[in-house]
Structure 1
Amino acid sequence: MFEIGDVVIYSEHGLCKIDDICKKDLFGETRLYYVLHPLGEQTLKISTPVDGKKKRLMRTMNREEAEELMDVFGRPGIEWVDDPKHRARAYQSLVQSGDRQKIAEVTGALMDKKLNTDQKIYDQDRKILNHVQSILFRELSMALGISIEEVANRVEERILAGTPQ
C-alpha cells in the first residue's frame, strides 16, 4: 500500500502525488480511497479505491530501471502495423497494459516513423505518441534527474542512431 506523500504513476494521468488516504461511502459501501493529484495540476483531485482493479497505480521507477528502459530506444522493438486502425488498437492496448517496456517500444516505433520518414504520421498515432511521451518522459526525467527535454533529446538521438548508446 502506498502512503500519503508518495509519487506514483496513475493510468493516463501519469505522475501523481498521494494527498490523502480516507474512507468514503459510495452506494452503501465503505471503501478506502487514495486521494491524489497529477503533478503540475494542483487543482485536479482524483479518488481511486485502494483495492481498485480497473485503474492501476504503480510505483515510480528508480534510476537503474530508467537507464535500462532508455536502452529500449534505438533497437528493434515492436513491429510496425501497416493498417492505421489495427495499429491504433494494438498500440493503445499495449499502452493501457501499463508495461513500461511495451510503452517504450510503442513510443520508439512511433518516434522512429515520425523521425525517419517523409510521411506525416496519422492523427491517432500522434495522439498516442504525445500521450505516452508526456507520461513516460516525465517519469524518466524524475528517475534520471534530468529535464524532460533532455530525455526527449536522448531518446531521439538513440532512435536516429539505431543502436543503444
Structure 2
Amino acid sequence: MFQVGDKIVYPLHGAGVIEAIEEKEILGKKQRYYIIHMSLGNVQIMIPAAKIDDMGLRHIVDPDTMEDVLLLFNDDPSSASGSWNQRFRMNLDKMKTGDIYKTTEVIRDLTQISKEKALGTGEKKLLDNAKQILISELVLVKGIEEEQATRLLNEAAHC
C-alpha cells in the first residue's frame, strides 16, 4: 500500500506524488482512490486503490539507482532487428512494465535508430513519451526543475 506523500511512478504516464487517498462514489459505486499529482504538467489523476497492483505502480528509484540508469546510455543499443511495428510493440511492452531500466533502453535504442534514419510517427511518439516518463522521475529523484532534468537526460543520452 502507498501513503500520502509517497513519490510513485505510473507506467506510461510518469512520476507523481500521492496527494490524498479518498473514498468517492463514481457510477453508483464507492471506492477508495489515490489522488496523484503528476510531476510534469499540472495534472492530477485518480487511480482506484483496488487496481493499484494491476497498474504496476511503484515507488520512485533512489538517487544511486538513478545514476546507474543514466549510465545505461553508455551501453551499446539492443539490436534493432525486425520491422518497425515489431520494434514498436516490443518497446511499448518494455514501457508497460514500469521498469526504469527498460524505459531507458527504449530511449537509448530509439535515439540511436533516429541518428541513422528517421523514426516513424509511432516510434517518435513512443520516444517522446519514454523521455517524459524518465524526466518526470528525474525531477522527483533529484529535486530539480523539468528544464534541468531535460538537460541532464539529453546529456546522458547524447541527444
Equivalent residues of 1:141, 1:151 under 8 A apart? no
C-alpha distance in structure 1 between counterparts of 2:35 and 2:140, whole Å: 21
Query: The residue matched to 2:74 in structure 1 has which SS?
Result: coil
CA apart distance, 1:108? 0.5
Q: Which residue of 2 aligns with 1:162?
A: none
Q: Match for residue 78 of structure 1?
A: 78
The 5 A counterparts of 1:71-150 are 71-115=71-115, 117=116, 119-145=117-143, 147-150=148-151
Question: What SS does structure 2 have at the residue aligned with 1:8?
Answer: strand
**Is contact 2:9–2:98 with CA below 8 Å preserved after alignment?**
no
Q: Is the 8 A contact 1:67 1:144 kept in 2?
A: no
1:18-39 residue CA offsets vs partner (Å, 9 max, x unmatched):
2210223456654321012222
SS in 1 for 2:111: helix
Q: How far apart are residue 14 of structure 1 and its match?
A: 0.8
Larger radius of gyration: 1
Alpha carbons 2:56, 2:97 under 8 Å: kept: no
Q: Could you say which structure has the greater relative contact order, defined with CA pairs below 8 angstroms and 6 or more residues apart?
A: 2
Q: Distance in 2 between matches of 1:3 and 1:71?
A: 31
Structure 2 CA distance, aligned partners of 1:40 and 1:98? 17
Higher helix share: 2
**8 Å contact 1:18–1:37 — kept in the other structure?**
yes
- Once the two structures are superposed, residues 108-128 of structure 1 have per-residue CA deviations (whole angstroms, 9 ceiling, x without a partner) of 00011123x2x2111111111
What letter corresponds to residue 152 of structure 2 in structure 1? V
Distance 2:34 2:141 in 1: 23
When the two structures are superposed, what TM-score results if normalisation uses the length of structure 2? 0.83
Alpha-carbon RMSD across the aligned residues, in angstroms, is 2.2
Contact 1:78 1:106 survives alignment (8 Å): no
How far apart, CA to CA, are the structure 1 residues paired with 2:50 and 2:78? 32
Any residues of structure 2 matched to 1:16-35 within 5 Å, and which? Answer: 16-26=16-26, 29-35=29-35
CA contact (8 A) 2:7 2:140 kept: no
2-structure distance, mates of 1:93, 1:40 = 23
Distance 1:101 1:108, change over 3 A: same
Q: Distance in 2 between matches of 1:141 and 1:111?
A: 21
